[in-house]
Amino acid sequence: MSVVVDGPSGGPFFTVQDLQVEFRTDDGVVRAVDGVSYSVERGKTLAVVGESGSGKSVTANAVMGLLDSRQASISGSALLDGEDLVDATPGRLRELRGSRLSMVFQDPLSSLHPFYTIGRQLVEAVRAKRDINKAEASARALQMLERVGIPNASQRLDEFPHQLSGGMRQRVMIAMALINDPELLFADEPTTALDVTVQAQIIDLMKDLQAEFDTAIILITHDLGVVADMADDVVVMYGGRVVERGTADDIYYRPEMPYTWGLMSSVPRMDLGESERLHPIPGTPPSLLAMPKGCVFRPRCTYHERVPGGLCDTERPDLLPTGDGHDVRCHIPAPERRALADEVLAAMRQAGGAA
Amino acid sequence: MTGFIIRRVIRAMVLLVLISALVFVMFNAAPADPAALTCGKSCSPEVIEANRERLGLDKPVPEQYWEFVKGIFVGRTYGSGTATFECEAPCLGYSFTRGQEVTPLILDRVVVTVQLALGAMVLWLLIGVPSGIYAALRRGQWQDKAVTAVAMFFYSFPSFFIALVLLFFVVIRWQLLPYPSYVPLTQDPWQWFQTMILPWVALALIYAGFYTRLTRSQMLETMGEDYIRTARAKGLAESTVIRRHGLRAGLTPIVTAAGLDLALVMGGAVIVESIFTLPGIGKLALDSVLTLDLPILTATVLVAAFFIVLMNTVVDMLYAVLDPRVRIA
């Protein structure tokens, strides 16, 4: 798992470079993803974190070729082992989907076809990519269901999605996504629709399978608890842009972007006392149709006064390195940012200690 | 599944009994005196009273209803003493106006209407469903707009207009078909077909517009579902995604709509049957209204209700077969 296998180009296994996604809508062109870059190695997990509408799912769907080409235009590059997915023909993407690329979705009930049995849907996934007969595909489906920890797997093959519990359904989705040993798995909020206890099981399962198959995982989530459990690296997205990226440790112990602070203090924590209130981020995410002129986070940022000359209102900050592999998009000068980060983290700990 | 069927059938029977009681009471509350309608204007009061007694119209309404229901299940005897005649089960009554028992008359007419309804449904589904799918797959493009506009065009016309236009041009102006004159299929298949084709087309055109729109919206909704994205994420060919995943789910509600519309037409397509002089239930109902033939009217309403209740039950069962989620419910 610690072995990093480089692609033929010598770069990381999967790299998204300056990805842009625009949607033509009746109200004008919406830039849902604006210059996003990230990368992930085999066997590693990259978490993409952000609120709804931050562009994290759109990025994944764009790379997978799952956006309607009549509505969305995609530019930039997404190199899988050196092959650009943005340039690839729809036919080539279809070949890659389900074999090298795979995806687990948020709501397993609506993502499984209600009219077909689990077995039939799994067999279909196998046979879409492999030239084997039904019996062999069935055997593979059964093996996969057992692997993801579904009891009475052979009986489950003949059941319909609605007959399974939410956790079992998500296991089926994971089995389906991994049935052809993909090298890159997008997990789009895989635990959001599940009970907390089931969430932990699903995360453990994904970690096990990742170790076994050496899969690169891009975990899309807004749940920082899940991130802490699984991620090696983290990308924080806001308003279609990356606002901070680094290792999981960077983001947890040395976050430097006010939005990341906000995300962290809005997570309910069991280790803090009951008297501790949540600190939601004030305001709402920006409308993609009317982006603020300066820093996109400026309208919700409580620290913008610390930046001289009203720079936050006029200039878009760049994503600049602040440490080894740790980049931040913020106008606040680095030393002050770090001091503020310490204050914020201390305040969070303080609140826990006070209770 | 068996329990499901039994429950639905019992519910259907209860519903039919309620409807029959309502219809019976309604027609008995009508201002017309049924007995006075049994003979012409110059009828003497004695004859009217005699007929009243023979038909049991002198008895209280609940008792008349009981006789009526009894007639359906075990048959009934009209009159008393020497002047009696048997009406065998299922006896829907006796029409004095026509001097006929209602049941055989209705059965003859039902056969015609059912042929009309089935043929028209096959046609409207053949036209409506594929064009709806096509429009959905070309959403927003000119093909979609053209199909939707044509569907709207036919959907907007009243049925008598389309029927009259067809009759006028095809039969009278261009003389492509002989004037419609119904014969049973077994007697002369070619003439039967020539008679049925225009009524089929007339009904089909009206309904096809609705089915185009319904299919289109169903398909658009289905193709936006999460499981369609899953199917694409599996790397299936787009045609497989549409056929196996889209159509299977999107067309299921069409079955419901088709079943219920079929029931409506089976209950009598009054206008189309009248224009093409098809001896169906709808034409019979219209004629009976004009002559105030209450026994026949009661029977036609009951038959129409029967078809609707029947098709509702059939559709419920079909749905349980088509949608695995219904079985448990």
Residue-by-residue DSSP string for A172-241: HHHHHHHTT--SEEEEESTTTTS-HHHHHHHHHHHHHHHHHHT-EEEEEES-HHHHHHH-SEEEEEETTE
Cα-based distances in Å from A294 to A52, A236, A291 = 21, 19, 9
The answer, yes or no, to whether residue A8 has pLDDT greater than 60, is no
What pLDDT was estimated at residue A353? 47
Cα-based distances in Å from B296 to A15, A174, B57, B91, B95 = 79, 64, 15, 12, 7
Please confirm whether the linkage preceding B90 is cis (ω < 30° from 0): yes
Is ipTM strictly over 0.90?
no
Partner A contacted by B59 (CB < 8 A): no
In angstroms, the CA A122 to CA A112 distance is 10
Of B14-18, B252-256, B264-268, B283-287, which gets the smallest average pLDDT?
B264-268
Looking at per-residue pLDDT, the higher value among A248 and A351 belongs to A248
The answer, yes or no, to whether residue B328 has pLDDT greater than 60, is no
Of A21-25, A272-276, B8-12, B241-245, which gets the smallest average pLDDT?
A272-276
What pLDDT was estimated at residue A4? 47
Q: What's phi and psi for B215, nearest 5 deg?
A: -60, -45
Q: Tell which residue, B246, B233, B254, has the closest CA to residue A116.
A: B246
What pLDDT digit, counting tens, does each position of A305-355 carry?
Answer: 888 888 888 888 999 999 888 999 999 998 999 999 888 888 877 765 443
B13: distance to nearest CA of chain A, Å?
A: 31
Q: Kindly report the number of other CB atoms within 10 A of residue B92's CB atom.
A: 24
Structure-token pair, residue A304: 């913008």
In angstroms, the CA A163 to CA A156 distance is 9
Partner A contacted by B242 (CB < 8 A): no
The amino acid present at A343, given as its one-letter code, is E
Listed by number, the residues of chain B in 264-303 with a beta carbon closer than 8 Å to a beta carbon of chain A are none
B324: distance to nearest CA of chain A, Å?
A: 6
Of A23-32, A260-269, A274-283, B301-310, which gets the smallest average pLDDT?
A274-283
What pLDDT digit, counting tens, does each position of A75-89 carry?
Answer: 999 999 999 999 999
Partner A contacted by B323 (CB < 8 A): yes
| Residue A105: pLDDT band with limits 50, 70, 90 | very high
What pLDDT was estimated at residue B33? 74
**Chain A residue at shortest CA distance from B328:** A163
A81: distance to nearest CA of chain B, Å?
A: 19
A213 burial type by CB count under 10 A (0-12 exposed, 13-18 middle, 19+ buried): middle
What pLDDT was estimated at residue A351? 66
What pLDDT was estimated at residue A266? 74
Q: In B, which residues are within 8 Å of A100 by CB distance? A: none
Q: Give the highest mean pLDDT range of A52-61, A263-272, B210-219, B293-302.
A: B210-219
What pLDDT was estimated at residue A274? 54
The answer, yes or no, to whether residue B293 has pLDDT greater than 60, is yes
What pLDDT was estimated at residue B138? 92
Tell me if A113 and B245 make a contact (CB, 8 A cut-off).
Answer: yes
Q: Which of A99, A105, A160 sits opposite B226 (nearest CB)?
A: A105
Average pLDDT rounded to a whole number, residues B13-34: 82
Q: Kindly report the number of other CB atoms within 10 A of residue B317's CB atom.
A: 17
Q: Dihedral sign, CA of B21, B26, B31, B35? A: negative
Average pLDDT rounded to a whole number, residues A99-109: 93
Q: Are A161 and A113 in contact (CB under 8 A)?
A: yes
What pLDDT was estimated at residue B107? 93
In angstroms, the CA B209 to CA B254 distance is 13
What pLDDT was estimated at residue B318? 87
Partner B contacted by A112 (CB < 8 A): yes
Q: Which of B230, B238, B252 sits opposite A111 (nearest CB)?
A: B230
In angstroms, the CA B236 to CA A95 distance is 8
In the block, tokens 């033929």 appear at A8
To test the contact with chain A by mutation, choose from B143, B220, B228, B234 the residue with the greatest count of A C-beta atoms within 10 A, namely B234
| Residue A15: pLDDT band with limits 50, 70, 90 | very high
Looking at per-residue pLDDT, the higher value among B267 and B250 belongs to B250
The answer, yes or no, to whether residue A228 has pLDDT greater than 90, is no
Q: Residue B253 half-sphere exposure, CB side, CA atoms within 13 Å?
A: 13
Q: Which of A66, A115, A163 sits opposite B233 (nearest CB)?
A: A66
Q: Which of A97, A114, A162 sits opposite B234 (nearest CB)?
A: A97
B120: distance to nearest CA of chain A, Å?
A: 29
Listing from the earlier edge strand, what are the strands of the sheet with A184-188?
A: A101-104, A184-188, A216-221, A45-49, A233-238, A241-247, A326-329, A319-323
A301: distance to nearest CA of chain B, Å?
A: 35
| Residue B6: pLDDT band with limits 50, 70, 90 | confident
Q: In A, which residues are within 8 Å of B231 by CB distance? A: 113
Q: What is the residue-averaged pLDDT of chain A?
A: 88
Q: What is the residue-averaged pLDDT of chain B?
A: 88
Partner A contacted by B218 (CB < 8 A): no
The answer, yes or no, to whether residue B62 has pLDDT greater than 80, is yes
Q: Are B165 and B171 in contact (CB under 8 A)?
A: no
B7: distance to nearest CA of chain A, Å?
A: 23
In angstroms, the CA A274 to CA A304 distance is 31
In angstroms, the CA A121 to CA A170 distance is 14
The answer, yes or no, to whether residue B200 has pLDDT greater than 90, is yes
Residue A294 is classified by DSSP as S
Q: Tell which residue, B297, B266, B265, has the closest CA to residue B111.
A: B266
A270 burial type by CB count under 10 A (0-12 exposed, 13-18 middle, 19+ buried): exposed
**Chain A residue at shortest CA distance from B238:** A94
What pLDDT was estimated at residue A33? 94
What pLDDT was estimated at residue A2? 43
Average pLDDT rounded to a whole number, residues A32-38: 94
Listed by number, the residues of chain A in 167-206 with a beta carbon closer than 8 Å to a beta carbon of chain B are 173, 176-177
What pLDDT was estimated at residue B152? 92
Q: Which of A96, A103, A114 sits opposite B325 (nearest CB)?
A: A114
Q: Is B314 helix (H, G, I), strand (E, B) or coil?
A: helix
The answer, yes or no, to whether residue A6 has pLDDT greater than 70, is no
Of B25-39, B51-65, B184-198, which gets the smallest average pLDDT?
B25-39
What pLDDT digit, counting tens, does each position of B211-249 carry?
Answer: 999 999 999 999 999 999 999 999 999 999 999 999 999
A323: distance to nearest CA of chain B, Å?
A: 37
The amino acid present at B107, given as its one-letter code, is L
Partner A contacted by B143 (CB < 8 A): no
Residue A98 is classified by DSSP as T
What pLDDT digit, counting tens, does each position of A148-159 carry?
Answer: 999 999 999 999
What pLDDT was estimated at residue B103? 92
Sequence-separated (6 or more) residues with CB below 8 Å from residue A211: A1, A43
Q: Which of B225, B227, B235 sits opposite A97 (nearest CB)?
A: B235
Tell me if A125 and B252 make a contact (CB, 8 A cut-off).
Answer: no
Q: Tell which residue, A101, A65, A95, A62, has the closest CA to residue A81.
A: A101
Partner B contacted by A223 (CB < 8 A): no
Residue A44 is classified by DSSP as -
Of A229-238, A274-283, B222-231, which gets the smallest average pLDDT?
A274-283
Element (H, E) at A39: strand A28-40
